[in-house]
Structure 1
Amino acid sequence: MSFQAPLPSHSRSPHDRQNSQGFAGLGFSSNQVGGFFENERTLPMYKDKPYFTPRRTAPRRRWKRIGSLLALCTLFFFWYNKSSLPSLKGASSSERGAQLWKWAQTLEDEAPETVDWNARRERVRDTFIVSFDAYEREAWGYDQYSPSSKNHKNMVDGGMGWMIVDSLDTLMIMNLSSQVRHARQWISTSLRYDQDHDVNTFETTIRMLGGLLSAHYLSTHFPDLAPVAEDDVGAAGEDLYIEKATDLADRLLGAFESNSGIPFSSINLNTSTGIRSHSDSGAASIAEATTVQLEFKYLAKLTGEAEYWRVVEKVMEVVDGQHPEDGLVPIYIHPDSGEFITKNVRLGSRGDSYYEYLIKQYLQTSEQEPVYKEMWDEAIQGIRKHLLAFSRNARLMILGERPRGLDKGLLAKMDHLVCFMPGAIALGATGGQPLSKARQSSEWTQQREEEILISRELMKTCWATYASTATGLAPEISHFLLDEVPVMMADKYADPAKSTAPAPYELQGISLPLTRQADGMEPWRRDIGIHPMDRHNIQRPETVESLFYMYRITGDVMYREWGWEMFKAFVRHTAVVETVGSTIPGLGDPPHERIKSFTSVGNVENIPPEKRDRMESFWLSETLKYFYLLFSDRDFISLEEHVFSTEAHPLPRFKPSGELKTGWERKH
């Protein structure tokens, strides 16, 4: 997930840190994991290879001359196009844009009995190509892109690779070889992380470090996806992504040098100096501090550098050491003291991905760290007890907030960000297995069945926030109508740990059907309210992310159908349309409209909605990726073998060994 508002970026230098000096400077550091390389080797081991040692063979003179000529042609081509190389499929991109816009006018679907999910997946791929190609043409190398005005800018001098690195694994997953080649060339020649500027620690980790690590993994384990010769084993550039990742990670380590081990919100890229938040009394949000673990732990596994592991798991120890009530953590923690500085509990902005990374850390390390599963189970029980309630008319399940503490009133508000939770709960209940298989396990309980019920009900509520608006797009925040005395989940179901219900445990839903009436006055619509400041949609991924999990786990095609309706709404209402062609007869195509890109919108209740002129990187790295995976075969990048980071970067599950293990115990 991503924060409620786009944040600036932040990072660290390897050369002022004694602990990292050996690794950054060609040698092995004191933190190398003893015995690591002799143990389980299911993942590529970066340190097995000579560091920065190119493997080139001398070509014959003839090929040198040909190569020089090709290089001159390439330089001229880049100069002519002002370093804004379009996709090699540029012409087809224009045609895709025209065809997409023509289709968007009708959005005609096949008959239910003839639905072709592969064809629908190709619609998503076309949408991605149109979006990415527009960025290539008009903003290549820049961190932010405004497709309507054709403006662009960087967050720091030289850029962070925000758009390119974040979307790189999507390019690979969609098998877009020419675009991967172009992105890889930019990363190789232009991407650097030594800027004397502060960036956000969390965002830089999940987008940049996660993007590089996922690209490294996919390029080595899925060689048939967008193959690039430079990535092949033995090629001179095979370590490009991991080299960039280690450089960035070494710079980021400085953020963790606080008194408590809680990372500073920002870090200077050049000096590797952590910087307190300029607001919130210098505190870090709980989501910022606790949503860097998957990335650093995988990097530790790849490199054998235990320091990456230790600094991020220390954060979890400090947070748990505050003994959060019923597993629910307040949304701010101070890096100086390691103490919470508020009682505000919510699973939206500032709190969301703390919970997500509890269950995903457990799964990433192949269930070898049960402490995180224990913390996850406690949090789920706390959510059931304090935050789950039902709307007044349709009994939609909502996941509310306790802004003044768990003993104070419930706020019936759900950020779009909260909609990651249905998928996360289903993932926690089954471990990513199909539900039918998970239910056959001797460990399946009433509690797990109720978690599936909760995930289904919350998924339905998230879908309702889309279905209730004029555009079919959800607002940034939804408010819900509750009874005067809210009906809580705890009122409907007893503590599952004390239940004596016999198997099978399958439970029935609670909410009313999302039926439609001619007058538009369905009960469920009256339960959903949108405040004027919350009507925008910035193409967030959380709902389609959960649909992806729900379909893969339950096998219920309804979740695919909901996703398809959402995708059509995005195409129709967030498209940036332009007129192209020539008015001179016989000179090119006649004038016609095409979609050139996509952007966030200002009011989901207006048709057409006003465009906000901003394409976020997560439109490419998350939203379209999850649509593509939702319409793909279940085994493609399977849930049983992978975890998806909070920025949708797939990383492999692995078994930790050597010093890579849980280095702390809970203090009950």
Structure 2
Amino acid sequence: MRRSCILSLTLLGAASSSLAAGVTVQKPGLTVPAKYASQKAAAEKIFTTSYSAYREFAFGHDELHPVSEGVGDDLGGWGASLVDAMGTLLVMGLDDLFVEAVNFTSTLDFNTPPVPQDISVFETTIRWVGGLISAYELSGEKFPILVTKAKEVADKLAFAWIDGNAMPYNTMDFTTNSPVIQTTNIAQVGTLTLEWSALSKYTGNATYKELAEKGTIAVAELATPLPGLAPQVVDPATGQFADAYITWGGGSDSYFEYLLKYARYTNNANNIFIDTWKTAVDSSIHTLLKTSTVGDWSFLADQDDQGLIRHVGSHLACFYAGNWLLGGQLLKNQTIVDIALKLNDGCWNTYAGTATGIGPETFAFIGTDGNFTGGSAITAAQLAFYNEHGYYITGSDYIQRPEVLESNFYAWRVTGDTKYLDRAADAIASFNKFLPTTVAFACLNDVNNPSAGFIDDMESFWFAEVLKYLYLTFDDPNHISLDTHVWNTECHPLIAPPALSSYQGSGSLIPPKPFTTPTSIAPRPAVSPKTQPSGVPAQ
């Protein structure tokens, strides 16, 4: 308890140097050295090669299967790769291709999925609502049809709130406008605020914003096992948690991400968002922050339903370094920034340690406090790998995750240290060496064994996130600045208001509330590709 109080005071007391004219996130005067100019072009080349193949073999479908030259439609069938690519097309100045994408999107009918299936509120929001609004802004508001289409799809998704529930269900039947009644996770509930608030801004209808906010606030107001750290599974019917598992990884990740980003986007219109984020970070430093016995690498561990620390990590969870860098800067808190840079190094080491130079989907480590993972015992081969690299692989696939490169992007923009440019350049080289198929870039079965072959998929977020983050790493930092935009979890930038001089919120951490572990622990919902983790609004 003594340690908790001291650290809490450190976190809260670090904001005194906030800039009177507004907090800045990016290092002032930052420029990319000329010697890295070729890397920006290299990132664009990967994008144009990938997008050309998509246009030839899968245009209008959700994604290209680059090995078989087939198509996938598991995100509604409305062309998820198309909308995910829109913003990147604009960022790269590929205006003709962007207009083609707008023309196609303007014809879409969101009343019924082209390929019959249930629809994820979360996945559709971050791509379609977020992507369309972002493209509208990036194109200088020249294409109002993009807002119209964002509204059309949101009006269908709004049926996820029923029976007066604060939290939406995540899975929708668009044919009947009815949700699938089942538990969901905090990432799915809490990753709507940026997009739906932006939609309210451009439609003048506050209902979208209010629906999204009330779900997140309902989660944030519940008692939690650790202060600020919500468990993963929630039941919209009861408005209560259905487990006690804590993680910054899939199924929880972007709930924590949006607490901070929404505080920035709304300039602390409601302190519960920043206060909950600060409390979550404080608790994480106390309880989840662990170091490996080899290499002294830093990671955020999980805490399971029994309160045991699991020494596990994931590519998805590695967004936390960038998120903490953003938050540390907004709070003017060097403690958080310094820890975030160590977390970033730990995540980058999962790239540096593999045969391909690309990080695995999941990994584990032996901490100075123990090695429990909740899974299988470490094998001799894994132990040997750990003794060399300070982590070991538990899920060897690479499905074009962006999170390590996302955090690397934040580290560059915050510090100006060119080692982060070198790391991004290494990733580009690895992608060019190990991911190309005959027509485009695919996922890998095993990042430590290139001969294991491809996974026949090219994710829509390859266009939205991986290649945009890489391109922006080498682009003029003033083009789309961390001081002028907030990125949604799919890397669609949204224009932010001028920053406040402080993001301390109430100035306090949220006090703990008594938490009772549910007597029956619900199975964690199947993790979606991204999180792996009452009625239409009034007109």
TM-score (ref. length: structure 1): 0.66
Label 1:156 to 1:648 Cα distance change in 2 as closer, same or farther (>3 A): closer
Of 423, 431, 442, 1:562 maps to: 423
Of 200, 209, 220, 2:120 maps to: 200
Equivalent-residue separation in structure 2 for 1:567 and 1:549 (angstroms): 17
CA shift for structure 1 position 321: 2.3
Letter in 2 for 1:195: T
Does structure 1 conserve the Cα–Cα contact (< 8 Å) formed by 2:42 and 2:428? Answer: no
Please give the secondary structure, in 2, of the residue aligned with 1:344.
coil
Label 1:622 to 1:258 Cα distance change in 2 as closer, same or farther (>3 A): farther
Matches within 5 A, 1:609-624: 609-624=452-467
Does structure 2 conserve the Cα–Cα contact (< 8 Å) formed by 1:193 and 1:270? Answer: no
Does structure 2 conserve the Cα–Cα contact (< 8 Å) formed by 1:574 and 1:601? Answer: yes
Give the aligned partner of residue 325 of structure 2: 426
Equivalent-residue separation in structure 2 for 1:535 and 1:336 (angstroms): 37
Give the aligned partner of residue 313 of structure 2: 414
Of 135, 155, 160, 1:215 maps to: 135
Please give the secondary structure, in 2, of the residue aligned with 1:142.
coil
Deviation per residue, 1:525-577 (Å, 9 max, x gap): 3421113xx11001100011111111101111111111111121111101113
Equivalent-residue separation in structure 2 for 1:523 and 1:486 (angstroms): 12
Which structure would you say has the larger RCO, counting Cα contacts within 8 Å and 6 or more residues apart?
2
Deviation per residue, 1:458-512 (Å, 9 max, x gap): 000111000001111111001112235479xxxxxxxxxxxxxxxxxxxxxxxxx
Label 1:193 to 1:319 Cα distance change in 2 as closer, same or farther (>3 A): same
Matches within 5 A, 1:150-189: 150-155=69-74, 159-189=77-107
Of 529, 534, 544, 2:392 maps to: 529
Give the aligned partner of residue 453 of structure 1: 338
Equivalent-residue separation in structure 1 for 2:486 and 2:84 (angstroms): 17
Q: Is 1:375 the equivalent of 2:236? A: no
Equivalent-residue separation in structure 1 for 2:170 and 2:36 (angstroms): 42
Give the aligned partner of residue 67 of structure 2: 148
Deviation per residue, 1:65-102 (Å, 9 max, x gap): xxxxxxxxxxxxxxxxxxxxxxxxxxxxxxxxxxxxxx
Label 1:576 to 1:396 Cα distance change in 2 as closer, same or farther (>3 A): same
Give the aligned partner of residue 56 of structure 2: 137
Equivalent-residue separation in structure 1 for 2:483 and 2:46 (angstroms): 28
Does structure 1 conserve the Cα–Cα contact (< 8 Å) formed by 2:217 and 2:272? Answer: no
Matches within 5 A, 1:347-366: 347-366=248-267
Letter in 2 for 1:647: E
Letter in 1 for 2:477: R
Give the aligned partner of residue 62 of structure 1: none
Please give the secondary structure, in 1, of the residue aligned with 2:112.
coil
CA shift for structure 1 position 351: 0.7
Does structure 2 conserve the Cα–Cα contact (< 8 Å) formed by 1:161 and 1:208? Answer: no
Does structure 1 conserve the Cα–Cα contact (< 8 Å) formed by 2:411 and 2:420? Answer: yes
Q: Is 1:541 the equivalent of 2:384? A: no
CA shift for structure 1 position 269: 2.1
Letter in 2 for 1:641: T
Matches within 5 A, 1:297-308: 297-308=197-208
What are structure 1's unaligned runs of at least 5 residues?
A: 1-112, 222-230, 232-237, 277-281, 432-442, 488-520, 578-595, 657-661
Give the aligned partner of residue 641 of structure 1: 484
Deviation per residue, 1:131-165 (Å, 9 max, x gap): 000010011111131111111143478x2221111
CA shift for structure 1 position 605: 1.2
Of 121, 130, 147, 2:40 maps to: 121
Equivalent-residue separation in structure 2 for 1:478 and 1:523 (angstroms): 10
Deviation per residue, 1:325-361 (Å, 9 max, x gap): 3110100000101100001111111011111000000
Does structure 2 conserve the Cα–Cα contact (< 8 Å) formed by 1:391 and 1:481? Answer: yes
- Taking only aligned residues, the RMSD between alpha carbons, in angstroms, comes to 2.4
Label 1:275 to 1:655 Cα distance change in 2 as closer, same or farther (>3 A): farther
Please give the secondary structure, in 2, of the residue aligned with 1:116.
helix
Matches within 5 A, 1:599-614: 599-614=442-457
Q: Is 1:630 the equivalent of 2:451? A: no
Give the aligned partner of residue 398 of structure 1: 299
CA shift for structure 1 position 323: 2.2
Aligned length: 458
Equivalent-residue separation in structure 1 for 2:184 and 2:456 (angstroms): 30
Give the aligned partner of residue 362 of structure 2: 477
Letter in 2 for 1:203: E
CA shift for structure 1 position 371: 2.4
Equivalent-residue separation in structure 2 for 1:482 and 1:361 (angstroms): 33
Does structure 1 conserve the Cα–Cα contact (< 8 Å) formed by 2:63 and 2:79? Answer: no
Equivalent-residue separation in structure 2 for 1:539 and 1:313 (angstroms): 30
Letter in 2 for 1:204: T
Give the aligned partner of residue 529 of structure 2: none
Matches within 5 A, 1:232-251: 238-251=143-156
Letter in 2 for 1:116: K
CA shift for structure 1 position 243: 0.7
Does structure 2 conserve the Cα–Cα contact (< 8 Å) formed by 1:259 and 1:336? Answer: no
Matches within 5 A, 1:255-294: 255-276=160-181, 282-294=182-194
CA shift for structure 1 position 168: 0.7
Please give the secondary structure, in 1, of the residue aligned with 2:241.
coil
Letter in 2 for 1:376: W
Does structure 2 conserve the Cα–Cα contact (< 8 Å) formed by 1:390 and 1:486? Answer: no
Does structure 1 conserve the Cα–Cα contact (< 8 Å) formed by 2:190 and 2:215? Answer: yes
Label 1:120 to 1:485 Cα distance change in 2 as closer, same or farther (>3 A): closer
Does structure 1 conserve the Cα–Cα contact (< 8 Å) formed by 2:386 and 2:392? Answer: no
Label 1:540 to 1:485 Cα distance change in 2 as closer, same or farther (>3 A): closer
Matches within 5 A, 1:428-443: 428-431=327-330
Give the aligned partner of residue 490 of structure 1: none
Deviation per residue, 1:287-346 (Å, 9 max, x gap): 001001100011111111111111111112211221223110100000101100001111
TM-score (ref. length: structure 2): 0.81
Deviation per residue, 1:243-277 (Å, 9 max, x gap): 1011111111111224422111111224322222x
Equivalent-residue separation in structure 1 for 2:334 and 2:102 (angstroms): 45
Please give the secondary structure, in 2, of the residue aligned with 1:483.
coil
Label 1:371 to 1:469 Cα distance change in 2 as closer, same or farther (>3 A): same
Letter in 1 for 2:244: K
Q: Which runs of 4+ in 1 moved over 6 A?
A: 521-524
Give the aligned partner of residue 253 of structure 1: 158
Label 1:245 to 1:529 Cα distance change in 2 as closer, same or farther (>3 A): same
Q: Is 1:463 the equivalent of 2:368? A: no
Equivalent-residue separation in structure 2 for 1:115 and 1:523 (angstroms): 38
CA shift for structure 1 position 609: 4.2
CA shift for structure 1 position 386: 1.4
Does structure 2 conserve the Cα–Cα contact (< 8 Å) formed by 1:259 and 1:335? Answer: no
Deviation per residue, 1:368-392 (Å, 9 max, x gap): 3332111111000011111111111
Label 1:484 to 1:399 Cα distance change in 2 as closer, same or farther (>3 A): closer
Q: Is 1:331 the equivalent of 2:232? A: yes
Equivalent-residue separation in structure 2 for 1:410 and 1:320 (angstroms): 22
Please give the secondary structure, in 1, of the residue aligned with 2:71.
strand
CA shift for structure 1 position 188: 2.0
Of 320, 327, 339, 2:220 maps to: 320
Does structure 2 conserve the Cα–Cα contact (< 8 Å) formed by 1:212 and 1:244? Answer: yes
Equivalent-residue separation in structure 2 for 1:193 and 1:609 (angstroms): 39
Equivalent-residue separation in structure 1 for 2:387 and 2:260 (angstroms): 32
CA shift for structure 1 position 410: 1.0
